[in-house]
Amino acid sequence: SSLSTWSCSSGPAFKAAALIQRWYRRYVARLEMRRRCTWSIFQSIEYAGQQDQVKLHDFFSYLMDHFTPSSHNERDFLNRMFTEERFPEDAETDRSSDYESIEVPDSYSGPRLSFPLLPAQATALVEAFRLKQQLHARYVLNLLYEAKKHLVQLPNINRVSTCYSEEVTVCGDLHGQLDDLIFIFYKNGLPSPERVYVFNGDFVDRGSDSVEILMVLFAFMLVYPKEFHLNRGNHEDHMVNLRYGFTKEVMNKYKVHGRKILRTLQDVFCWLPLATLVDEKVLILHGGVSDTTDLELLDKLDRHKQKSLHFPNKSYHLQLKSPNVYLTPSVPLREGAIGNYKENQFQCAWDQVVDILWSDPVAQEGCRANTVRGGGCYFGPDVTEQLLQKYNLQFLIRSHECKPEGYEFCHGRKVLTIFSASNYYEVGSNRGAYVKLGPALTPHIVQYQANKATHTLTMRQRISRVEESALRALREKLFAHSSDLLGEFKKYDVEATGLIPLSDWAAAVESVLRLGLPWRMLRPQLVSSSTDNALEYKSWLDDLAKEQLSHENIQSSLLEKLYRNRSNLETIFRIIDSDHSGFISLDEFRQTWTLFSSHMKIDITDDCICGLARSIDFNKDGHIDINEFLEAFRLVEQSCSERDASGCPQATHTN
Q: What is the DSSP letter of 453?
A: G
Q: How far is CA 533 from CA 68, 499, 501, 512, 525, in A?
A: 55, 10, 6, 21, 15
199 phi/psi in degrees, rounded to 5: -105, 125
Q: How far is CA 534 from CA 483, 501, 518, 519, 638, in A?
A: 20, 4, 18, 15, 33
Residue 645: CB atoms within 10 A of its CB come to: 7
Residues with Cβ < 8 Å from 24, sequence gap 6 or more?
A: none
Give the whole-angstrom CA distance, residue 387 versus residue 108. Answer: 52
Round the CA-based radius of gyration of the chain to a whole number and report it. Answer: 27
Determine contact, residues 157/280, Cβ cutoff 8 Å: no
Q: Closest Cα partner for 570 from 632, 512, 638?
A: 632
Give the whole-angstrom CA distance, residue 65 versus residue 94. Answer: 30
Q: Residue 144, exposed/middle/buried by CB under 10 A (0-12, 13-18, 19+)?
A: buried
Give the whole-angstrom CA distance, residue 381 versus residue 359. Answer: 13
Determine contact, residues 313/326, Cβ cutoff 8 Å: no
Which helix (H) or strand (E) is 499 found in, with range?
A: strand 499-501
Catalytic residue among 57, 136, 229, 235: 235
Residues with Cβ < 8 Å from 103, sequence gap 6 or more?
A: 138
Q: Residue 291, exposed/middle/buried by CB under 10 A (0-12, 13-18, 19+)?
A: middle
Helix (H, G, I), strand (E, B) or coil at 139: helix
Give the whole-angstrom CA distance, residue 575 versus residue 63. Answer: 14
Q: Which value, to the nearest 10 degrees, does the dihedral of the CA atoms of residues 43, 286, 431, 517 take?
A: 10
Find the angle CA(280)-CA(285)-CA(291) to the nearest 5 degrees: 90
Please name the residue ranges forming H helices in 550-603. Answer: 556-576, 586-600
- Whether residue 235 lies in the annotated active site: yes
Q: Closest Cα partner for 604 from 646, 640, 639, 650?
A: 650
Give the whole-angstrom CA distance, residue 302 versus residue 551. Answer: 49
- Enumerate the active-site residues: 235
